[in-house]
Amino acid sequence: MASRQKAKPKFPDFIKIRQWLNFLKTYLIAGFLTIISALKRLLRIIAKHQNLFLVLLLILFFTFLTFAAIVPGTHTFEGNIIAEKISFIYKGEENKLFLQDIGDIKELENQGKQTLTFTGKFQSEILPELNKLDYLKIKLKDDNSRWIITPINTQDTSEISLHELRLQPNTQVTGLSYDFYRNQLAFSLRPNYNSNQKIKPNTLDINLGNQSIKVLVEGYELADLKLAKQLDNETPLEFILTPNNKVNLELTQNASINITVGKITKYASKQWFRGKIKAENLQFLDVDRTGKDVRDDLKVSTIVEGKIRMAEQEKEIKENQFLMGEDAKTPLNIQEIRHLGIVAEKGIEARFSGKTKEIQIGLDPDFPVSRISGSWLDGVLPRDAIIALFSFGAATVANLLSWLFSNGSNSGAKP
């Protein structure tokens, strides 16, 4: 008996549920009938007074235009910025020619884990075994390993040249800059590390010419060469090479490249970079590090000058200002770099385009002082026409609503 009494509260109160449903049904029906009655009355008034119907259509039309002139829309933007240092990620679907035909190279330095092969005539004082070779394969062991090549006579025009550098999809190019004091182009490559796919290498082709060159290698292994006496691991390998081939490198690991050239010419530097690069995360930033605590690191803008345009609006970007998208924490949605070049005594020039709803500019990324945004209507009409139409539409809607309420009340009051 006790167990039956305990089980009773578990059953729902069907009577209360039925009452609640009936109550809800009554109010829904009443609300629906009220809406139907109001619509019938409105249609009756419109049937008697066609002018009211025309006014209602005009109100709806101008209301739509007013909202279309206010609601933000996504628009294409374009910019032209000169910066001391830039970074981006290549987002094309196939390998892309990035650099080409950089001649008169006075020094070429490449740092990172890689394998390179030289052929020709070798001369070495610290490792005489090389003098008998016509072929040498060198393995650079880690990220700190590097090799440097320079012409023997730096006063003459160098025959060393970079034929081409090709980027694989999702390769990150960081720290792209030009030192005008040293005439040195510098950047780093970070291939896309995807455990599910085999990494396709970025390729670097270098013409060594026919003149003798000096080669310096640090952090290396000579796996294919049996030496009677091994060099100290910290002792750099130096030799003179009279080359008879190109150097073709496959860069599957991180690599830092510094290219020092002779006197740079405006025309030559324009030919170095290949444009139309599908890109994302294009940034004009550097990081000021203390080396003690990462929390002390500060992001620094590298922008020297520039302009950006969207929805028939243009803003000038001053030195050291930040360029941001809709969210100050995320970079502007740049989709393509149309052109890269070197502007004398200023830095790297980048012309780019993309799509966004808002562009923000300021010395502090958390407190932008300038913005560019466009409404949905900006993609359809010129901005001057939108301003005029918005003003006319707002005034017209106000007048039409006043007229509609006034005449609708008088019409509804008549029998």
Dist CA 364 CA 299 (whole Å):
10
Q: Determine the pLDDT at residue 375.
A: 74
Is residue 21 in some structural domain?
yes
Q: Determine the pLDDT at residue 292.
A: 77
Position 21 pLDDT exceeds 60: yes
Instruction: Clarify whether residues 124 and 189 are in a common domain.
Output: yes
Q: How far, in whole angstroms, is CA 48 from its chain's centroid?
A: 61
Instruction: Clarify whether residues 244 and 368 are in a common domain.
Output: no
Instruction: With cut-offs at 50, 70 and 90, classify the pLDDT of residue 30.
Output: confident
Is residue 390 in some structural domain?
yes
Instruction: Clarify whether residues 188 and 281 are in a common domain.
Output: no
Structural domain boundaries, residue 332 = 74-88+276-373
Residue range 309-327: mean pLDDT, rounded? 90
Q: Which of 112-116, 167-171, 356-360, 380-384 is least confident?
A: 380-384
- Domain end, chosen from 226, 261, 296, is at 261
User: What's the pLDDT tens digit per position in 180-224?
Assistant: 999 999 999 998 766 556 778 899 999 998 889 999 999 888 877
Position 371 pLDDT exceeds 80: yes
Instruction: Clarify whether residues 22 and 142 are in a common domain.
Output: no
Contact 91, 278 (CB under 8 A): yes
> Which two tokens mark 141?
């062991």
- Domain end, chosen from 209, 231, 261, is at 261
Is residue 282 in some structural domain?
yes
Dist CA 257 CA 62 (whole Å):
60
Torsion of CA 56, 57, 63, 66, to 10 degrees: -140
| Alpha carbon separation from 21 to 17, 18, 25, 27 (Å, rounded) | 6, 5, 6, 10
Three-state SS across the chain? Answer: CHHHHHHHHHCCCHHHHHHHHHHHHHHHHHHHHHHHHHHHHHHHHHHHCHHHHHHHHHHHHHHHHHHHCCCECCEEEEEEEEECCEEEEECCCCCEEEEEEECCEEEEEEEECEEEEEEEEEECCCCHHHHHCCEEEEEECCCCCEEEEEECCCCCCCCCEEEEEEECCCCEEEEEEEECCCCEEEEEEECCCCCCCCCCCEEEEEECCCCCEEEEEECEECCCCCCCCCCCCCCCEEEEEEECCEEEEEECCCEEEEEEECCCCHHHHHHHECCCEEEEEEECEEEECCCCCHHHCEEEECEEEEEEEECCEEEEECCCCEEECCCCCCCCCEEEEEEEEEECCCEEEEEEEEEECEEEEECCCCCCCEEEECEHHHHCCCHHHHHHHHHHHHHHHHHHHHHHHHHHHHHHHCC
Q: Determine the pLDDT at residue 335.
A: 93
Position 42 pLDDT exceeds 80: no
Decide: pTM greater than 0.85: no
Dist CA 166 CA 95 (whole Å):
6
- Beta carbons within 8 Å of 111's beta carbon, 6+ residues apart: 143, 144, 145, 146, 255, 256, 257
- Domain end, chosen from 261, 293, 312, is at 261
> Which two tokens mark 156?
């003459």
Instruction: Clarify whether residues 247 and 338 are in a common domain.
Output: no
Is residue 32 in some structural domain?
yes
Is residue 408 in some structural domain?
yes
Pick from 166, 189, 165, 186: nearest CA to 176? 186
Q: Determine the pLDDT at residue 222.
A: 83
Instruction: Clarify whether residues 226 and 322 are in a common domain.
Output: no
Q: Determine the pLDDT at residue 288.
A: 81
Instruction: Clarify whether residues 111 and 242 are in a common domain.
Output: yes
Instruction: With cut-offs at 50, 70 and 90, classify the pLDDT of residue 174.
Output: very high
Residue 243 bridge partners (DSSP) = 120
| Alpha carbon separation from 20 to 11, 16, 36, 412 (Å, rounded) | 17, 6, 24, 37
Dist CA 411 CA 43 (whole Å):
12
Is residue 281 in some structural domain?
yes
Is residue 94 in some structural domain?
no
Backbone φ and ψ for 280, nearest 5 degrees, come out as: -145, 165
Is residue 97 in some structural domain?
no
Q: Determine the pLDDT at residue 162.
A: 93
Mean pLDDT rounded to a whole number for the chain:
81
Instruction: Clarify whether residues 237 and 155 are in a common domain.
Output: yes
Q: What is the largest CA-CA distance in the chain?
A: 119
Instruction: Clarify whether residues 130 and 256 are in a common domain.
Output: yes
Residue range 59-68: mean pLDDT, rounded? 71
User: What is the per-residue burial (b if ≥16 Cβ within 10 Å, else e) of 185-220?
Assistant: bbbbbbbeeeeeeebbbbebebbbbeebbbbebbbb
Instruction: Clarify whether residues 174 and 197 are in a common domain.
Output: yes
User: What's the pLDDT tens digit per position in 73-118?
Assistant: 888 899 999 999 999 999 988 999 999 999 899 999 999 999 988 9
Q: CA gyration radius for the chain?
A: 35
> Which two tokens mark 392?
């006319």
User: In the chain, how many domains are there?
Assistant: 3
Instruction: Clarify whether residues 240 and 138 are in a common domain.
Output: yes
Instruction: Clarify whether residues 64 and 133 are in a common domain.
Output: no
Backbone φ and ψ for 218, nearest 5 degrees, come out as: -130, 140
